[in-house]
């Protein structure tokens, strides 16, 4: 219960979720690599975007005149991959909640798909403008 001076019931603070600093780096790297492996194994769209984007990233230094242009070209491809990973995570979460059709879960999936589409449009525009 609250009074004018603050909460009456003082609860112990929750323990930290993880260690900070350098002790966190190795576990965080393992989780990230596990996520990339899962995306590669289970997400055809992610594999297709990597197959399309990797060659473009490799030629970017040879077709761009300046370093900032290379960064934009590569960054646009990375943004597609990042968006696809987030969308895949959202879809996995939705499927965990329910496999049955639900308007809000469908909307969440559609919004994630729209984000991927916009990131692809962005990549096409960046590449078209810089070439």
Positions marked catalytic: 84
99: tokens are: 């496999």
From first CA to last CA, the distance across the chain in angstroms is 64
Q: CB of 109 within 8 A of CB of 97?
A: no
């Amino acid at each position: 219960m609250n009074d004018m001076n603050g909460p009456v019931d003082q609860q112990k603070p929750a323990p930290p979720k993880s260690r900070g600093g350098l002790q966190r780096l190795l576990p965080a790297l393992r989780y990230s690599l596990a996520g990339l492996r899962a995306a590669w194994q289970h997400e055809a769209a992610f594999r297709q975007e990597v197959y399309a984007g990797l060659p473009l990233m490799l030629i970017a230094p040879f077709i761009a005149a300046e370093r900032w242009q290379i960064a934009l070209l590569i960054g646009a491809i990375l943004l597609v991959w990042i968006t696809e990973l987030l969308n895949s995570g959202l879809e996995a979460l939705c499927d965990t909640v329910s496999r049955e059709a639900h308007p809000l879960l469908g909307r969440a999936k559609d919004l994630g798909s729209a984000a991927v589409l916009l990131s692809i449009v962005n990549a096409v525009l960046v590449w078209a403008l810089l070439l």
